Amino acid sequence: MAYSKEAERQNKALADLMAGKEHEKEYVQVGYEGKKEDLGGKTRESELSKVMQDARMPLFCPKCDKAMKKKLDDKFWRIKGHCFDCQVEFENKLRMKGEFEDYAQLKILENQKAYLIDMEQSIDEFEKSGGKKTWLNNVGVNTPELEKEKWEMGKKDFENQVTEARKFIQDAKDKVEDFEKQIQGDK
């Protein structure tokens, strides 16, 4: 067995303990102790630690108290706030009641709505560009140089593209809303 200062320190502490002596540390430990506050028995907690508690997956599911150790548990914790098994059980209950198809369709519609919102945001960004874009390309092997490339769409083409895109998004939104009304009307 190899010699270690830590093992020697531990052995000496154990020997002092067994002999009934009080053990004194022979080394100095340096640390930082923040400002002392009297909070009346409460523990001081920073905002960041609260955020991390919300973001960190717990060891046990809050619904069923089973250990959450699968990859799917992590995914469903972030999306739904419970483990994968609880989600399977929830969806199974919906299937037994005959309500799963509506639930699945509403989930698909929510995803489509989110996609349409993303498309609207990208159109807004494109509209801010005015149909113009500039790139810097690295050209050359032995002597690298930067080459500036400009791209312009033309005002008329730009306006047509933006108008068509907005019309397409609005049509898609109308279809999604109509389908959602249809599904909710069946209930």
Verify that 117 and 168 share a domain, yes or no: yes
**3-state secondary structure (DSSP) of residue 37:** coil
Verify that 83 and 163 share a domain, yes or no: no
Verify that 109 and 119 share a domain, yes or no: yes
- Whether 181 maps to a domain, the answer reads yes
Verify that 106 and 186 share a domain, yes or no: yes
| Integer Cα distance of 127 and 164 in angstroms | 12
Q: How far is CA 109 from the centre of its chain?
A: 22
Do the beta carbons of residue 173 and residue 119 sit within 8 Å? Answer: no
Residue type, position 104, single letter:
A
- Whether 5 maps to a domain, the answer reads no
pTM of the prediction?
0.58
Verify that 70 and 107 share a domain, yes or no: no
- Whether 108 maps to a domain, the answer reads yes
Average pLDDT value over all residues in the chain: 86
pLDDT at position 31 is: 64
The domain of 89 spans: 48-97
Q: What is the pLDDT of residues 67-101, one digit of tens each?
A: 988 889 888 988 899 999 999 999 999 999 999 99
DSSP state of 137: E
CA distances from 21 to 17, 27, 28, 90 (A): 6, 18, 20, 61
Q: What is the pLDDT of residues 133-142, one digit of tens each?
A: 888 888 888 8
- Whether 8 maps to a domain, the answer reads no
Verify that 145 and 75 share a domain, yes or no: no
The Cα angle at residue 104 between residues 103 and 106, in degrees rounded to 5: 65
| Integer Cα distance of 140 and 186 in angstroms | 64
- Whether 36 maps to a domain, the answer reads no
If we measure between CA atoms, which residue out of 106, 111, 110, 99 comes closest to residue 187?
99
Instruction: Give the residue, 38 or 187, on which the prediction is more confident.
Output: 38
Verify that 118 and 75 share a domain, yes or no: no
Q: What is the pLDDT of residues 144-177, one digit of tens each?
A: 888 888 888 888 988 999 999 999 999 999 999 9
Q: What is the pLDDT of residues 17-62, one digit of tens each?
A: 888 888 777 777 666 666 666 666 676 677 777 777 777 888 899 9
In the chain, the number of structural domains is 2
Q: Exposure of 74 by Cβ count < 10 A (0-12 exposed, 13-18 middle, 19+ buried)?
A: middle
Verify that 172 and 109 share a domain, yes or no: yes
- Whether 115 maps to a domain, the answer reads yes
Residue range 120-139: average pLDDT?
A: 88
